[in-house]
Amino acid sequence: MKKRVIGPVIIGFSSIVLLTGCLFEGEQSLEEIDSPQDVEYVENDSNSPEADAEDTAEVTGEDTTENTSEEGAGEEVAIEETVKRQLFLMDANGMVVPQTVEIPKSDSKEVARQALEYLVKDGPVTELLPNGFQAVLPAGTQILGLNPEANGTLVVDVSKEFANYRPEDEQKILQAMTFTLTQFEGVDRIKLWINGYEKDVMPVNGTPISDGVSRSNGINVHPGDVGDLMDSKAVTLYYPAQTESQDFYYVPVTTMIENEGSDNYEAVVQALLKGPAFDLPLLNAFNDKAELEGVQFDEGVLSLSFNEALLSNFEKKSVSEHVMKSLVMTLTEQNGVDAIQVNVEGVDQVFSEDGTSYAEPVTRSDVTGVESF
């Protein structure tokens, strides 16, 4: 039986509220929507321009295009080697979302710097932007330096052009930079410098940043409808969204749920079952009658039991791709959760919509096609 999530705030929610974005439009259903286009997430190694290789922020080259030349009209034509990078961009609704973009492979180890450069408006990302998406950093912004500190903080030094943004874009800029850079191993938070000078507040709207900004500050922050903010916890949930051209992607939303102790697995799943807030332009991945029946955690695997309403096709015993992606992408962001095992009561084995068995626990890389962060 679904339960209404009402409850408790973690210390520090005030900083999340400070980083809240805009209000959005209403929720839709996925029940009659065609199969989605995959959105990929890439794994990132540790590598940063001004530290030793083992301490720096670097993306792996697993998805690199290996072709470097091809035959044409009797002569060899050089082809630029590329690699997939995950960038946090702004969608048509003004929400900050991950998109996988194929960019030239850097000869240097400065892949974190390159990732930031591809967040700059009118920069090299312009021709690569998916339809309806845009970069977030002000045009002309230069990345002057990335300096890692021992405590997992990455100091980002940018040029004065960085300050040329609208006040309403301040949170989006912070979120895009933070979530793009904290993909890299060893980077837990960022601090901002402008032209070599440390900043305690953002330059336009004055958001406090003296302690640095991390993923715990949230992304696309929405307060939700919990009754007691003093006894709730912030989590980031992934919901499907759709472009005008009917392509699907997944939007992270940080919201408040009931605080049920050291883990909140059941509360997180209940929040996903409930769907996004009515004023968000997002979709509910689940059937209305889907219910969570049980939760069990063991050595990194979170097992979830649902009633039959979870199935998108009872005859084929299949679970929607939207459901699996929302569950796996959301829950693998919880500490210690490496994979999700989905079970349906009365069903021996469940499958994906293309017939792939879900007998084994499902990892983030299983649903995205690439390794998780």
Q: Domain check: are 211 and 229 in the same one?
A: no
pLDDT at site 86: 81
295 sits in which H/E element: strand 292-298
> Which is nearest to 97 in space by CA: 239, 207, 204?
239
Q: Domain check: are 340 and 329 in the same one?
A: yes
Q: Domain check: are 211 and 226 in the same one?
A: no
pLDDT at site 7: 41
pLDDT at site 150: 83
pLDDT at site 192: 97
pLDDT at site 364: 81
Query: Do residues 233 and 275 make contact, with C-beta atoms less than 8 angstroms apart?
Result: no
| 30 in a structural domain | no
Q: What is the total count of domains within the chain?
A: 2
* Residue that finishes a domain, picked among 167, 198, 217: 217
**What is the spatial distance between Cα 179 and Cα 86, in angstroms, rounded to a whole number?**
10
pTM, whole model, 2 decimals? 0.76
| 309 in a structural domain | yes
pLDDT at site 78: 60
Question: In which residue are the tokens 């799943």 written?
Answer: 269
**What is the spatial distance between Cα 48 and Cα 16, in angstroms, rounded to a whole number?**
27
* Residue ranges with strand state E in 149-209: 153-158, 189-194, 197-198
| 7 in a structural domain | no
pLDDT at site 344: 97
Q: Domain check: are 213 and 224 in the same one?
A: no
Instruction: Tell me the backbone φ, ψ of residue 347, rounded to 5 degrees.
Output: -120, 125
Q: Domain check: are 363 and 238 in the same one?
A: yes
| 359 in a structural domain | yes
| 22 in a structural domain | no
Q: What is the DSSP annotation of 66-134?
A: ---EEEETTEEEE---EEEEEEEEE-TTS-EEEEEEEEEPPSSS-HHHHHHHTTBTTSTTGGGPPTT-B
Q: Domain check: are 200 and 306 in the same one?
A: no
Residues in the chain: 373
pLDDT at site 227: 58
Sheet holding 362-363, edge to edge: 292-298, 301-306, 339-344, 362-363
Q: Domain check: are 250 and 211 in the same one?
A: no
Query: What tens digit of pLDDT does each residue of 194-214 get?
Result: 999 999 999 999 999 999 999
What is the CA 259 to chain-centroid distance, rounded?
22
pLDDT at site 22: 39
Listed as ranges, residues in the chain with pLDDT below 50 are 1-15, 17-26, 29, 31-72, 370-373
| 106 in a structural domain | yes
**What is the spatial distance between Cα 257 and Cα 268, in angstroms, rounded to a whole number?**
7
| 340 in a structural domain | yes
* Residue that finishes a domain, picked among 217, 247, 275: 217
Q: Domain check: are 79 and 177 in the same one?
A: yes
- Domain residue limits at 321: 13-17+220-368
* The two structure tokens encoding residue 92: 């048509």
